[in-house]
A and B are shown apart, each in its own frame.
Chain A
């Protein structure tokens, strides 16, 4: 289990150089809805890039020295689950791209639970996390990784799938 450092003087919890805060799916989806409403077509990029940067910095700080891609991706799945976002399956993704499957996506299940199904995929945070994890695992510049959610629980699919392209 990841070791969070909670400072009782500042009430700030840190993990891998990132300040971590508790929130539930009501806030997560309501905030995403406000951002999507405000930014329109620009929202997916903003949401994805923000997630990618946070996850990449943290996973990089937590990565064991000398660890290989598989070990790093396994750690990314473990962390993603510990943080309450669902489960990641990187078995069909490598340094040249591929597909990532996600089960129990917090964002997709949360959205459906709160607002019902939607027309477009909702897991922009997850896309970013996947991009950050692959960047750390394969030592790739984050800008080279493009993650697109091709199936989403929130659009009526049984599970979420992401296409990964490495430019």
Chain B
């Protein structure tokens, strides 16, 4: 667990070397947390669902998916950034928690 209470749940390799990092925040994700993720080119938040699912695509870095009101986050980190996968995911998660 990090200083801001973010927990690393899973990290594993994916097809061809992308890396999946799953984290748990100390509290459920809020809609406004998504605004602090930097470099988002495609933002999809399906607020019509019973549990709003979101996908934030940051080219060259990662795809971040999760559910608003759920504390778990999944980062699918691009091959180009795989060496920094956990660091990138933790940085982003901590920024979200700090809002």
Q: Do chains A and B touch in the complex (CB under 8 A)?
A: yes
Which residues of chain A have C-beta atoms less than 8 A from B16's C-beta? Answer: 104, 109, 112-113
User: In this assembly, does A110 line the interface, its C-beta being within 8 Å of a C-beta of chain B?
Assistant: yes
User: In this assembly, does B49 line the interface, its C-beta being within 8 Å of a C-beta of chain A?
Assistant: no
Q: Which residue of A lies closest to B79 (CB)?
A: A104
CA distance A104 to B17 in the complex (A): 10
Residue among A25, A104, A106, A110 with the highest chain B CB neighbour number at 10 A? A104
Q: Which residue of A lies closest to B13 (CB)?
A: A113
Residue among B15, B16, B17, B79 with the highest chain A CB neighbour number at 10 A? B16
Which residues of chain A have C-beta atoms less than 8 A from B15's C-beta? Answer: 25, 106, 109-110, 113
**Contact-residue size bin, chain A (C-beta under 8 Å from the other chain):** under 10
**Contact-residue size bin, chain B (C-beta under 8 Å from the other chain):** under 10
Which residues of chain B have C-beta atoms less than 8 A from A110's C-beta? Answer: 15
CA distance A98 to B77 in the complex (A): 34
What mask results when residues 78 to 101 of chain A are scored 1 for a CB within 8 Å of chain B, else 0?
000000000000000000000000
What mask results when residues 104 to 119 of chain A are scored 1 for a CB within 8 Å of chain B, else 0?
1010011011000000
Which residues of chain A have C-beta atoms less than 8 A from B79's C-beta? Answer: 104
What mask results when residues 55 to 76 of chain B are scored 1 for a CB within 8 Å of chain A, else 0?
0000000000000000000000
Task: Give B82 Cβ to nearest chain A Cβ, in Å.
Answer: 13
CA distance A110 to B18 in the complex (A): 12
Which residues of chain B have C-beta atoms less than 8 A from A112's C-beta? Answer: 16
Which residues of chain B have C-beta atoms less than 8 A from A25's C-beta? Answer: 15
Q: Which residue of B lies closest to A25 (CB)?
A: B15
Q: Which residue of B lies closest to A114 (CB)?
A: B15
Task: Give A150 Cβ to nearest chain B Cβ, in Å.
Answer: 20
Which residues of chain B have C-beta atoms less than 8 A from A104's C-beta? Answer: 16, 79
What mask results when residues 22 to 38 of chain A are scored 1 for a CB within 8 Å of chain B, else 0?
00010000000000000
CA distance A110 to B16 in the complex (A): 7
A-B interface, 4 closest residue pairs, ranked by CB to CB distance from nearest:
A109-B16, A109-B15, A113-B15, A25-B15
Q: Which residues of B contact A (CB under 8 A)?
A: 15-17, 79
